[in-house]
Amino acid sequence: MFLLPSSSRRSEWRSDKTIDTKAKIANVLPVLERRHVELLPLVTAFQNTEDAVKDLKEVEALLQSAEEDEQMVELLTEEQAQIEKRIDGLRNELLQSLIPSDVHDTNDVILEVVAGRTTGGDICQQFTREVFDMYQSFSSYKNWEFELLNYTPAEYGGLHHAAARISGDTVYKHLKYEGGTHRVQRIPEIGLSSRMERIHTGTMTVIVLPQPSKIDISIDPKELRIDTFRSKGAGGQSVNTTDSAVRITHIPTGMTAECQQSRSQLQNRDTAMRVLRARIYQQMLEQEGEQRHSARRLQVGTRSQSERIRSYNFSQNRVTDHRTGYMSRDIKEFLRGGEALDELIAELMAHADREALLQLLEHGGPTGEGKARGARTLDS
């Protein structure tokens, strides 16, 4: 015999169902709100363009009916030119709104430079120092904060490795295309090759990692191995008599980060931890999509000359970016990290936007990975 549930039981079911529905709505609302914020610039740009086109049609209609009034025709023609110029700007704005943005564009970055391991010797180390100085100067030019995290000098004024945290307005947006292999061609300043004016070729690597917040990534302290050792200067001479240098290893991934910049072990540990967090965060980003290439692997590569993104030829006083064809004929000015580098970066960003827009038109929709894919297009 089938018994109907009591009225109180039915009331509980309805209450549970209501709570479940409210919970689902609560989960969906933030997604809808974010989507609304994402689409609002596109809708606004489209509406403004439509309004401008209507204004243009009205002016054109008035022009046809005012052919005999020269003064009116002159005024309307001037207004027509202004509206057409405004429409061009609005259409460009509309295209920019269509291009999917990179969610990390506003992030600060950890920027690392590493001298080439197999080619160039002292040439690589000297050039690594010059490139690192260039980015420090560029940070000053853009009014960004440049915080030195690690600096391992080499002999003859060169640099083995260095890392810095750069913070400011849209730092990652500007620097994300700088990651990769940079090639240098120059005559050494000393030695037999210098006397014979023999050109040497070397490479160094720039690595740009978006800086995560504590919300983005959480690391279990149990998964870390922390080693301390004495700081060493160039030539192996000790610059610190205490074990203040710190190396942190993330056991699950095998990733390491070390710092010997400060005489304080706690400060070195904090710095190494920030670099390690950025590297682990980069790995997490790389694993988000199956088809997404490893950004760090693309940047580091094998440090061979075939993977270069830019060449610096001192003998010919020329800097060439191999992704856009950009060329500067004043290498010293370029290495000052001012207007010349800013101009190249602006060209790289515009090129990435064009590639992203073409991809959008070809596939009929966003890739889901934002303009971060544009960086790979530049390297392809």
Contact 230, 243 (CB under 8 A): yes
Q: Which helix (H) or strand (E) holds 15?
A: helix 7-65
pLDDT for the residue numbered 379: 47
Contact 139, 324 (CB under 8 A): no
Beta bridge partners of 308: 181
**CA nearest neighbour of 83 among 113, 110, 59:** 59
C-beta neighbour count of 128 within 10 angstroms: 28
Q: How confident is the model at residue 339 (pLDDT cuts 50, 70, 90)?
A: very high
Mean pLDDT across the stretch 325-349? 93
Whole-angstrom distance, CA of residue 268 vs CA of residue 227: 11
**CA nearest neighbour of 177 among 80, 287, 34, 322:** 322
pLDDT for the residue numbered 372: 43
Helix residue ranges, H only, 176-294 = 192-195, 265-286
Mean pLDDT across the stretch 69-95? 85
Is residue 115 predicted with pLDDT exceeding 60?
A: yes
Contact 257, 282 (CB under 8 A): no
As given in the structure block, the two tokens for residue 224 are: 């870390």
Whole-angstrom distance, CA of residue 295 vs CA of residue 172: 13
